[in-house]
Structure 1
Amino acid sequence: MATATSRAPVVITGIGVVTPGGCTPDELWATLRSGRSTAATLDHLELSRHKVRIGCRVRGLDEVGLVSAKDARRMDPFALYGTTAALAAHRDAGAPAPDPARTAVVVGNAVGGRTTSDQESAHFTADGPHRVNPLMPLLTMPNAAAAQIAMRLHWTGPATTIATTCASGADAIGHAVALLQSDRADVVIAGGCEATLSPVTLAGFGNLNAVSLRNDEPERASRPFDADRDGFVMGEGAGFVVLERAADAKARGARQYAEVAGYGATSDAYHLSMPLPDGAGAAGAMTAALTDAGLTPADIVHINAHGTSTPHNDRAEAAALNKVFGPGGPPVTASKSVIGHLIGAAGAVELIAAVGAMRACEVPPTANHERLEPGMDIDVVHRSPRAVASGPALSNSFGFGGHNASVVVVPV
């Protein structure tokens, strides 16, 4: 479907993922389609005295083999996940080799190298300053993933990191599209990466009362829009796409997964952790993305919701969906119910999930959704996948600090 604007259409030509649902797009899609959560009890010894002891861990990374064991030891997990997913996307796109100066890397990340930071803080506390790894500043800096990706591909265009918490991955893709449409790059790798399953980070989110405390039944903990939800389950991972102008992709014979047709971003300007209760900021981002794509709400076939499983966020998102689409609206799914909340990587991975659903003409179910909270008038897909027509999809990402991002993809 063509957009209503005169700008060059931008398409996805490569996809790479590192997730709790698997480390290939096919594995991720199969996991999402199953509607079964990947959450499990974590094995940190320190967590025995914590109130949060569950999470969704990456699985299958060792089988990918795009980063050597030696190089992996010089990366925090967030950068390892991001570099692996980006290189996989590049390979999937047919390894495009443009003028290195006409390239770009855009990475969404919220917290940087938390695993390394926590480890080195423990060394400092136990044994003093001399035990702190001299590479710690390089391992923990949020731009480490962008630097690693650029170095491995020898791409000399801009390598940028965007930090808008849970909207980071979606904002990275929106920024990448702008680079291509303004002719500042010919090929862009964009996405998000995160690794936050450390005891300190989990303790912080637990004390914030943002995560589920269903430690005895982790597979039932994440339940977006369900009346019995009590918070999200932390996940980890990365998702990256290769983006090109459609004409350039066609000229080199590249496979085109979807067109990234619209992007919208707003700020609630309201609270560091709470969304606007009426969902006005989120609704604004969705409306802006639809306008950018030259579409109306009636054109959207399905929505991949932000769907954190926290009481306030789900309620605000449902209100926002009602504002934009009216009661009921298009079928809604929430990937976080299956793979957890990937924070800075969530927006990119969930956009990839939306592309998978669009191409399969099938919306995967929302895990653990049993009873819609009274007052939420949205159509949550649950229990089993639902067949839908081929057509545009919308992916939502709303972050702490009031950052809202929505992305529209359309078939090609």
Structure 2
Amino acid sequence: MKGLNSVTDYWDTEEHLLENPKREASGAREVTEAVQVDAGAKADAGFKTFKPYRDYACRIKGGALASVQANFIRAWDRAGGDTRFDHTEIPSALQREGAPGANSSVQIIRTQPDEKDKTAKEMYFVATDVAAAATGYLYIENQYFQYQEWSERLIQARKNVMARWKAAAAKGCRTKGDMPLLHVFVVIPVPERAQMVPRTYDALAVLGQQSGMTGQSTFIEQENKKTYTGVMCDEMGNSTGALYTKPAVVEFANDIDKPSVDALEKKYGLKVAVAMLQTSALDKGRMRYREIYIHSKLLLVDDSFFSLGSANLNQRSMAVDSEINLATNDANKAANLRQKIWGKLSGGTVKGKSGSPSDIAKAFFDWMEIMKQNVIRKEGSESLNGFLLPLRDNRSATQRLG
């Protein structure tokens, strides 16, 4: 159950090795698709195989398979599939393979414009509202973090929570130490195209996390410093007759309320960490680093809920493309996922223990420290501890794609 592509250039292991002979040979494609992941750095195309690749897959048992099969049947029929294919008996046969002793539920949610189904968007929003009302965590690992509407939803939900808390605090029932904090862990790749940079910037800026988009931040700052006279002039100061206006992406970004890290905590009770992933290894006597491309779409909430599937956090996945996810309240699997994933990303040092608010707060602090130390390690040509680094993208663009 996942949007996995069954071709060799999407193959990898949990170790995300710098090079792996089982990954497809890169050739010229690696040169054209390589992205700059550090300010001023040039894309290193000297690898033999495609870059490390991160994704998930799972197997569904029981009644939820009927929904998966129904989705397939309707898509098959819309596409004019072979009518000789007898699909009427498959759901009942699949349902007989149940999950003994299961104490959780599984729902199949989709984006299917042909059927006006936007339950994927509804799931993201409802899960975010639930997370915002608690003092736990929200973990997002996603290929495209470009959905500004989701960031705004999170901020609004936290505004509501903080308003209720402040009202109670004013009555003497709460102290500053009781302030509810939600820890948000975001793991994303640098946008695969420069034209996707502005939407990523905007989605992060709502959460006060735009600083990692160094190129777009610098571009916006420089444009805002310019004096706009209404006409463009040449190098000699002579009017060219052309109107000179700020790029639309700059005007759009200027309208976003960008909270500082301090304000994010005090006003909204939010702590947000944004990471990208890289792997490291000695190669012919020198330490080398390589982006781990994130194709996964995973949402974890408070060890009580998770969703996995093909839906990205962008406009297309929420409204236009055909997407399918599972959503489940299996607490055991959610907790196991959190411990396994965080452990792998942090080099085995950060797992969040029992998942209590204090454990999550400690995990967040350690997560941030690992990212800081990995920056220092990389500057010193040392191996990284796990894969975590602060998001950095030095590109800028005026087109909002995604």
Tell me if both proteins adopt one fold, taking TM over 0.5 as the criterion. no
With the length of structure 2 as denominator, give the TM-score of the two structures.
0.30
With the length of structure 1 as denominator, give the TM-score of the two structures.
0.30
